[in-house]
């Protein structure tokens, strides 16, 4: 008997995802959440029934669609994006979902000024909350909350000086006392952590 082949491609996808990715191509936006990361996001969101979920870096809404696909009806998602042009795609395709609140703002500024209730899951797909302002984000996570950051493996969209940011982040993670992280060389390169 030969061993089973493990195929790590998602079995199901959000309904709006193809239209969102089509709009991303039209806008030449190349930084959307990839499918394996998205499938993991849906699973993590499903693990937080009624949870408060945060996304930093909406982009066009690919990750947003995956999070919404996994969330229960009583969960909420706040998604923060600086660029109104790309976030407009998420608004058009996902904005009717009452669980979603889209915030047009710099994530670093949002992290330093937010004073509402804590979050049970955070997906970080931009620099603030990962390479900068990590402590401010951790302050907003409830005990036991999950953290997912992606794009830790070399990407064609990276600027020349970005590898140094990634290296510094990865060097700092083992010393971060308020997170229990695991780094995975999978998908775009992920860190998944629990708030301790």
Question: What tokens does 46 get?
Answer: 């499903």
pLDDT in tens, 35-67: 999 999 999 999 999 999 999 999 999 999 999
List the beta strands (DSSP E) in the chain: 52-56, 76-81, 100-104, 119-124, 141-149, 179-184, 190-195
All domains of the chain, ordered by start, with CATH?
A: 31-195 (3.40.50.150)
Task: Name the nearest CA neighbour of 65 among 30, 100, 113, 116.
Answer: 100
Q: Does 7 or 182 have the greater pLDDT score?
A: 182
Distance in angstroms (rounded) separating the CA atoms of residues 47 and 53:
11
Distance in angstroms (rounded) separating the CA atoms of residues 149 and 122:
8
Q: Measure the CA dihedral 164/166/170/173, to 10°.
A: 110
b/e map 77-98, b = 16+ CB within 10 Å: bbbbbbeeebbbbbbebbeeee
pLDDT in tens, 101-119: 999 999 999 999 999 999 9
Range with the lowest mean pLDDT among 96-110, 150-164, 166-180? 150-164
Strands 119-124 and 190-195: unpaired
């Amino acid at each position: 008997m030969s061993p089973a082949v493990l195929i790590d491609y998602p079995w199901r996808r959000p309904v709006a995802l193809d239209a969102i990715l089509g709009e991303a191509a039209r806008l030449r936006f190349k930084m959307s959440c990839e499918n394996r990361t998205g499938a993991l996001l849906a699973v993590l969101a499903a693990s937080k029934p009624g949870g408060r979920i945060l996304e930093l870096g909406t982009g066009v809404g690919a990750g947003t669609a995956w999070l919404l696909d996994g969330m229960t009806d009583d969960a909420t998602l706040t998604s923060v994006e600086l660029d109104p042009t790309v976030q407009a795609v998420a608004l058009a395709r996902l904005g009717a979902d009452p669980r979603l609140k889209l915030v047009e703002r710099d994530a670093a500024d949002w992290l330093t000024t937010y004073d509402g209730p804590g979050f049970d899951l955070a997906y970080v797909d931009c620099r603030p909350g990962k390479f900068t302002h990590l402590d401010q984000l951790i302050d907003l996570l409830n005990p036991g909350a999950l953290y997912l950051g992606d794009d830790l493996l070399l990407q064609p969209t990276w600027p020349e000086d970005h590898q140094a940011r990634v290296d510094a982040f990865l060097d700092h993670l083992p010393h971060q006392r308020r997170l229990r992280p695991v780094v995975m060389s999978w998908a775009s390169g992920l860190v998944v952590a629990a708030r301790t």
